[in-house]
Amino acid sequence: MINGEKKISRALRWSMVGGGQLSQVGYKHRIGALRDNTAFQLVAGAFDIDPGRGKDFGINIGVSEDRCYNDYKTMFVEEAKREDGIEVVSIATPNGTHYEICKTALEAELHVICEKPLFFTSDEVREIKSLAEEKGKIVGVTYGFSGNQMLLQMRAMIEQGKIGEIRVVDLQYTHGFSATEEEKTSAAQKWRVDPKIAGPSFVLGDLSTHTYYMSQLIMPHMKIKELLCDRQSFVGSRAPLEDNAHVLMHYENGAVGTMWTSSINAGCMDGHRIRIVGSKASLEWWDSKPGELTYEIQGEPIQTLIRAMPYLDDSCNADERLGALHVEGLSDSWANIYLKFAIAIDAKNQGDEETIKNLIYPDIDAGLEGVRWIENCVRSADKGAVWVNFE
């Protein structure tokens, strides 16, 4: 159980690029990083593309005025001159900026935590992975839902053979908040449907990469052999980017899978779920009830497993914070992954590769897989929704 005690020797000096007053994700980063105040300390930032607004924001959240910078390049240069300069930076900016900021941060000898999808192409990810290895730095990716510990319970039960051989993987991440042209009134939404800034996809990158990574976390041995993606722009102005997509998957072990991702599922508040069907039983998790896991054994009554109970696997309860029936949710999920980022960074600083190897967290390889997922989906869709080998 996590109770706020030190997991590393001291809090890491942390900064942000983006994540300011108008950001949809900045606060999630901060509540994740600062939930355990023994892991990170926010000491600097370049919080906004508007320098004045960024400085005002930084001061209002407690950052010293002289460490609220106009831009990230200035921050990296000036902080490198300080004995107490930053060690880690989180990138909470639009997709098209990730690659350059991440590369500049690594060249400045900083560890990096970056929003998803990581970059536009898998070649860019491989280049940055090589640079991170050269510099001895961690690159983490904020798949923010993946810290929900019941996902680790699913992983453990599958590894223990509780559901038998996996046959069907049913993934969904949908909502209805972009059923109309939301980007006309929301600056935070506008860039997400601009290919120059968002990249080659909208909901495949913005939504489905979360669920795809979570499926990998749950089933690390399951590899996709081929897929077919059919994507649509129901709000026509978003073309060529999609606001709805269906993906069919064939896994190497013979299992089949589906992913439905959509921002035009009108009326839907939370359509984020994962169902794994095995030869003996099935498991299902819904984001709307993150502390519950449905376990259905063929021929037996349906079971609902509850977070923090002693019958759960140790790997699941290790990330527990509040106790059974005391509500945890997205903020705790972010806190869990940020704590693991901190442990990985501290271990990397100490040359402790074994600790990093045993950590389950979204690292740069998870970011690479997310970009590969998008690339393959887009390639299939652009060829007319045909089956393509997963490359």
pLDDT (tens, 9 = 90+) of the chain, 391 residues, equals 999 899 999 999 999 999 999 999 999 999 999 999 899 999 999 999 999 999 999 999 999 999 999 999 999 999 999 999 999 999 999 999 999 999 999 999 999 999 999 999 999 999 999 999 999 999 999 999 999 999 999 999 999 999 999 999 999 999 999 999 999 988 888 999 999 999 999 999 999 999 999 999 999 999 999 999 999 999 999 999 999 999 999 999 999 999 999 999 999 998 999 999 999 999 999 999 999 999 999 999 999 999 999 999 999 999 999 999 898 899 999 999 999 999 999 999 999 999 999 999 999 999 999 999 999 999 999 999 999 999 9
Going by their DSSP bridges, the two strands 303-306 and 292-297 should be labelled as: antiparallel
The Cα 227–Cα 341 span in angstroms is 31
Task: State the burial class of residue 12 (Cβ atoms within 10 Å of its Cβ: 0-12, 13-18, 19+).
Answer: buried
Going by their DSSP bridges, the two strands 12-18 and 111-114 should be labelled as: unpaired
262 token code pair? 């959509």
Predicted model pTM = 0.96
pLDDT of residue 309: 97
Q: What does the DSSP assignment read for 271-323? A: EEEEEEEESSEEEEEETTSTTEEEEEETTS--EEEETT-TTS-HHHHTT--S-
pLDDT of residue 187: 84
CA torsion through residues 279, 385, 366, 31, sign: negative
7 token code pair? 């997991």
Query: Which is nearest to 201 in space by CA: 379, 18, 391?
Result: 379
pLDDT of residue 260: 98
pLDDT of residue 188: 82
pLDDT of residue 273: 98
